[in-house]
Structures are given as structure tokens and as C-alpha cells.
Amino acid sequence: MGIKFTSLNNKFKKAPSISFGGNASVQGEEDGTGNAGDTYAFISGNIAASGQSEYSSNLKPYLKSSPFDSSGYNAIPASALDDELLKPCRSQFTR
């Protein structure tokens, strides 16, 4: 850990061909680099993969109430992602 990140309005899904360790969709892992005290985690609005929590418990001490930085984009809710992402495809196949 020791990084600053935002996980906002993502929809996590498990794929049968990919092994997915852990019981949380967003995980905090120590890799020996960085200082854990520098960790800044803003995690909000995500839909966790089936059977998982949104984030691992070791991230709790580092959770913040606002994003570290802004990308300038307006995030759409995770619950609307499928419709928004597939909208261009549907318009091409509508008869």
C-alpha cells in the first residue's frame, strides 16, 4: 500500500477463466514498497462481484470521504453502466 487511489462507480464481475483471489473486489495489498501511512483510498458507489465485499477490511483505516484528485469526468452510477456502455451497440442492431 502507500498509494492514493479512487475506486468510484465500478461494476465488478467474476470471469470463469480468471482466478480472483480474496473476498473483496477492491483489495489493499502490501508489496514492500511505499509507506502504508501514505495510503489514501476513496471507495464509493461500486457494485462488488458476487459473493464479495466492496473492499478489504485492511483498507478501512485509510478510507477518505472524498476523492484524492478529480479526473474532470462526471461518473455515472454503477447501476447504469450496462445501459450506458451497451447503448451504442443497441442502436446499431435496432431494426
pLDDT digits (tens, 9 = 90+) for 36-77: 888 999 999 999 988 899 999 999 999 999 998 888 888 889
Q: Which residues contact 63 (CB under 8 A, 6 or more apart)?
A: 41, 42, 43, 55
Mean pLDDT value across the chain: 85
Rounded distance, CA 92 to CA 95, Å?
8
pLDDT value, residue 94: 56
Structurally, the chain folds into a number of domains equal to 1
Q: Which domain holds residue 82?
A: 4-93
Contacts (Cβ under 8 Å, ≥6 apart) of 51: 23
